[in-house]
């Protein structure tokens, strides 16, 4: 089981991957979101391709401090986009649905510093090497 923690101790998105990805490339995950006055958790299915793409894009954002990194799973129940801003700031936009693109919807945002990214990149690489193979 791998965990990817994006943010601080008080405002964050925490993705906990369940069992290793199936041969079809899917994994059940728990996503915990804590922002401002909101705190909640949803259970989602994530595809390996989305996680791998996100890791590649986030690495490029960290290296250049430009562009964006998007976690856009096929089911669309949970999405996350990290945008590089001036002076090393990272703006995070996210959406979480109670069910795959139906039911209740939470749109949220976070402001981070680039110093959070190396830990996230390590967690993503550990998840990819441990849970995808």
Q: Which tens digit of pLDDT belongs to each residue from 39-81?
A: 999 999 999 899 999 999 999 999 999 999 999 999 899 999 9
pTM for this structure?
0.92
d(CA 92, CA 84): 9
Q: Judge whether 131 and 17 are in contact, CB under 8 Å.
A: yes
From the number of C-beta atoms within 10 Å of its C-beta (0-12, 13-18, 19+), residue 68 rates as: middle
**The pLDDT value given to residue 129:** 84
Strand order in the sheet with 3-7: 3-7, 12-17, 26-35, 38-47
Q: Which fold has domain 3-131?
A: Transcriptional Co-activator pc4; Chain A (2.30.31)
| Stated length of the chain | 133
**The pLDDT value given to residue 132:** 60
The closest of 18, 15, 40 to 28, measured between CA atoms, is 18
Reduced to 3 states (helix: H, G, I; strand: E, B; else coil), residue 126 is: helix
Non-local CB neighbours of 122 within 8 Å, separated by 6+ positions: none
For 101-125, what is each residue's pLDDT tens digit? 788 999 999 999 999 999 999 999 9
Select the more confidently predicted residue: 67 or 100: 67
């Amino acid at each position: 089981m791998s965990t990817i923690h994006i943010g601080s101790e008080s405002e964050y998105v925490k993705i906990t991957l369940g069992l290793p990805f199936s041969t079809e490339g899917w994994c059940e995950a728990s996503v915990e979101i804590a922002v401002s006055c909101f705190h909640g958790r949803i259970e989602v299915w994530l595809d390996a391709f989305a996680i791998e793409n996100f890791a590649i894009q986030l690495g490029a954002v960290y290296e250049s401090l430009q562009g964006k990194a998007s976690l856009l799973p096929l089911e669309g129940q949970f999405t996350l986009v990290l945008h590089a801003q001036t002076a090393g700031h990272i703006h995070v936009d996210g959406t979480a649905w109670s069910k795959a693109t139906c039911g209740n919807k939470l749109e949220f945002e976070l402001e981070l510093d680039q110093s959070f990214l190396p830990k996230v990149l390590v967690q993503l690489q550990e998840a990819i090497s441990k849970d995808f193979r």
